[in-house]
Structure 1
């Protein structure tokens, strides 16, 4: 049985990183595709809370071909790949190592090529339940929490640890309770050729992942991803009667941005669906000061159910592809 990396393991890992690089100044989150989008929440958390620690999220091949100046001995680089075989991500670990960075592989497979040049490996779940679909995000966030605490201290540290302990049960609860609404969603949107997605704050990564990988990659549905705040600065011109939208609604600080977009959908009779983090009782189990950072994990689990029902309604399996896994060098 695979042993997945625990929060205690992450803390020990960070302690080792700090002992090797007490001058640590920056952290990079690197990946491709869905793995790249799943690092968004950890990046957002650090950008919101760090005073000194510099943080960047960068696509793996951009990292390889356009080395950031901060990628040196004062940096730790976390590279994610579910299978651990994505060549751009494997190369990113090797390059980071060559540039003097400490390297962390974040993967489902402990002995995959991604781990070959990595100083440390985080092994996450994926297939066990709906919460495991967000396990990569959870481990990236847990690692970010430990890095921030170690480098400069964080006054909400215990609240984040408490949230990490309960978020899996909340995510599975959410997935169990959206099955009927997910079926309705599948029927409602099965013939759409385009679905616009809106999200804000830490949930933008979930929106990006849903647009690019669930809708475009897995269902061949065109799907622009819009920031809820930016929606009113151009994109709202396309909101007309029955224009199709999916809105991920925050349970935290940026909820007003999402609510404003929802009001506009209603005003102009758009065809919309809302997946609202507040429906899943996060605020009763996770402190309101940090609940934002757990929204993406719960929404990821819920959205997986929506994706499954959409694929059934369209008679288009989530595994069906035109090009991926079929063409070499792409």
Structure 2
């Protein structure tokens, strides 16, 4: 497959799953101390990556959970953020200045901090608990999603709110072969999309539930940041409150459909698209066999699956448009 490094992928995916014992130890410690709230804090893609797990915990738990933009939290504060809170941070490089500042803000207030990073010596590795798994930019999403799914379901399990943690964690031990097969299945679809849209400069993305954070992330951090393409991103439930007026017959409409309880919202969007649009691409996790993943867990691994699918889209867009995914004009290039 174009741009696919099997050894690197094994290192990242297997490495994320191998953090389970460390995650269990962290959760045991914070559960023993006790906590009253959970904050999921990040910037950009790392912020959007928190949304599925806010969604998951809000559905299954009574504990207050909030995903927060790091820079905004430091300016506005939150009276629920106290020494009885857990704050979870993610930054692959560990150098995102807004995330580093938010971590220090939390530490100053006695908040228990947990950091996910790719480097043991990164600035956010000063958190109370640190999970380290190296990844490159293209595999970081899978790494973070696997870790966050393990971490949040472990927290729920210790609270008596998710009895199936042990079984789920065992199935997440090493998803390399499962996700490689997902990429192989998605590759010809992605290649055809890239060839069709080599000149398209505007894409409209829609998702819900466990996939809404991914939809936002792929729109902003991949298509906009890495390909300089104009996009609109909208939640499937909000699509019918004005955004649908932007859809023409030839609008590139990209729908991310998962298997959680919000799927009917995307079915509604798809029905509209089938009637009024001739350029709809559907990425549906239900189309992909996931050997070794129990049917009841498919909704939880949805973000990980679309991570793998859209790596193929990104690599083929990069090649077809001759626009390297690492090229930037402004991000980390100019003062902001």
TM-score (norm 2): 0.90
Match among 3, 7, 22 for residue 9 of structure 1: 22
Q: 1:267-278 counterparts in 2 under 5 A?
A: 267-278=275-286
Q: 1:68-107 counterparts in 2 under 5 A?
A: 68-107=78-117
Match among 258, 264, 270 for residue 262 of structure 1: 270
Q: Unaligned stretches of 5+ in structure 1? A: none
Q: CA deviation at 1:326?
A: 1.3
Q: 1:181-200 counterparts in 2 under 5 A?
A: 181-200=189-208
Q: Distance in 2 between matches of 1:124 and 1:42?
A: 19
**Residue 295, structure 1, aligned to residue 302, structure 2:** yes
Residues 85 and 113, structure 1, Cα contact 8 Å, conserved in 2:
yes
Match among 196, 215, 223 for residue 215 of structure 1: 223
Residues 167 and 297, structure 1, Cα contact 8 Å, conserved in 2:
no
Counterpart residue number, 2:248: 240
CA 1:258/1:89 → structure 2, altered by over 3 Å: closer, same or farther?
same
Q: Distance in 1 between matches of 2:59 and 2:292?
A: 22
Q: 1:112-191 counterparts in 2 under 5 A?
A: 112-116=122-126, 118-127=127-136, 133-165=141-173, 167-191=175-199
Q: Distance in 1 between matches of 2:50 and 2:133?
A: 13
Counterpart residue number, 1:61: 71
**Residue 37, structure 1, aligned to residue 45, structure 2:** no
String of CA shifts for 1:46-98, please: whole Å, max 9, x gaps. Answer: 01110x21100001101111111111111010111110011111111111011
SS in 2 for 1:176: helix
Q: Distance in 2 between matches of 1:159 and 1:45?
A: 17
Q: Distance in 1 between matches of 2:143 and 2:113?
A: 20
Work out the number of aligned pairs and report it.
Answer: 323
**Residue 108, structure 1, aligned to residue 118, structure 2:** yes
Residues 41 and 88, structure 2, Cα contact 8 Å, conserved in 1:
yes
Q: Unaligned stretches of 5+ in structure 2? A: 1-10
CA 1:193/1:132 → structure 2, altered by over 3 Å: closer, same or farther?
closer
Residues 38 and 65, structure 2, Cα contact 8 Å, conserved in 1:
yes
Q: CA deviation at 1:202?
A: 0.5
Q: CA deviation at 1:115?
A: 1.1
CA 1:159/1:41 → structure 2, altered by over 3 Å: closer, same or farther?
farther
Residues 92 and 140, structure 2, Cα contact 8 Å, conserved in 1:
no
Q: Distance in 2 between matches of 1:247 and 1:271?
A: 11
Counterpart residue number, 2:8: none
Q: CA deviation at 1:238?
A: 1.9
SS in 1 for 2:287: helix
Q: How well do the aligned residues superpose, as a CA RMSD in angstroms?
A: 2.0
String of CA shifts for 1:104-162, please: whole Å, max 9, x gaps. Answer: 1110111101112x10101124249x766411111012111111122344233344324
